[in-house]
C-alpha cells in the first residue's frame, strides 16, 4: 500500500476517465504559434540555417504537444491504492512524487508496480466532470501533505 495514500484510505473513492480538453488544445496551439513566430523572427534577422534547424526540431516537439496520450485513460483511487485504467487493463500504480495542482491543471507522475512503466498525466479541468475534478483536487492535496517531510525544530 503506498505510504502517501494509506493514511486517508477511508475517504471517498476517485474514479475518473480523462477526456478531451479545449483548454489543453488552446494552450498547445498558442505555444505553437508563438514558437513559429519566434523562429520566423530568427529567419528575418538573418539566421536561415539556425531557424531551419530549430524548425525541424520543433516540429517533433509540436507533434508531441498536440497528441493527447492521456485521453481515454482512467485513474482510480480506492482504499489507499492508485490504479491506472488502460483499455481493459487495470494496472496498480504508485505516485512518483507529490501531484502538482493548479486551478486549471493537475500533473501526476505514476509508475506501474508490475512493469515499471512511467506515465505522466496532465489532467485539465475541462477533461473530467466537475465532481471528479473536486475529488482529484482533494486527493492530490492529501497526497502532497503526506509527502512533505516534517521539519525538525531546533
- Looking at the predicted structure, is the pLDDT value of residue 34 above 80? yes
Give the global pTM: 0.74
Q: From CA 125, how far away is CA 42, in angstroms rounded?
A: 35
- Can you tell me the distance from the alpha carbon of 133 to that of 154, in angstroms, rounded to the nearest whole number? 40
Would you place residue 1 in the very low, low, confident or very high pLDDT band (cuts 50, 70, 90)? very low
pLDDT band at 43, cuts 50/70/90? Answer: very high
Each residue of 87-144: pLDDT tens digit?
888 999 999 888 999 999 999 999 999 888 898 999 999 999 999 999 999 888 888 7
pLDDT mean over 37-46: 94
Q: What is the mean pLDDT of residues 17-21?
A: 89
φ, ψ of residue 70 in degrees (nearest 5)? -80, -15
Percentage of the chain surpassing pLDDT 90?
44
Amino acid at each position: 500500500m503506498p505510504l502517501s495514500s494509506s493514511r486517508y484510505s477511508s475517504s471517498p473513492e476517485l474514479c475518473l476517465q480523462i477526456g478531451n480538453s479545449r483548454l489543453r488544445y488552446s494552450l498547445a496551439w498558442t505555444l505553437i504559434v508563438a514558437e513559429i513566430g519566434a523562429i520566423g523572427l530568427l529567419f528575418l534577422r538573418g539566421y536561415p540555417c539556425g531557424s531551419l534547424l530549430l524548425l525541424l526540431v520543433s516540429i517533433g516537439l509540436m507533434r508531441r504537444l498536440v497528441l493527447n496520450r492521456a485521453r481515454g485513460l482512467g485513474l482510480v483511487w480506492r482504499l489507499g491504492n492508485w490504479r491506472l485504467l488502460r483499455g481493459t487493463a487495470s494496472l496498480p500504480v504508485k505516485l512518483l512524487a507529490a501531484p502538482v495542482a493548479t486551478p486549471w491543471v493537475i500533473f501526476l507522475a505514476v509508475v506501474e508496480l508490475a512493469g515499471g512503466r512511467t506515465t505522466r498525466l496532465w489532467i485539465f479541468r475541462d477533461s473530467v466532470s466537475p465532481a471528479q475534478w473536486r475529488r482529484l483536487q482533494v486527493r492530490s492535496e492529501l497526497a502532497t501533505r503526506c509527502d512533505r517531510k516534517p521539519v525538525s525544530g531546533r
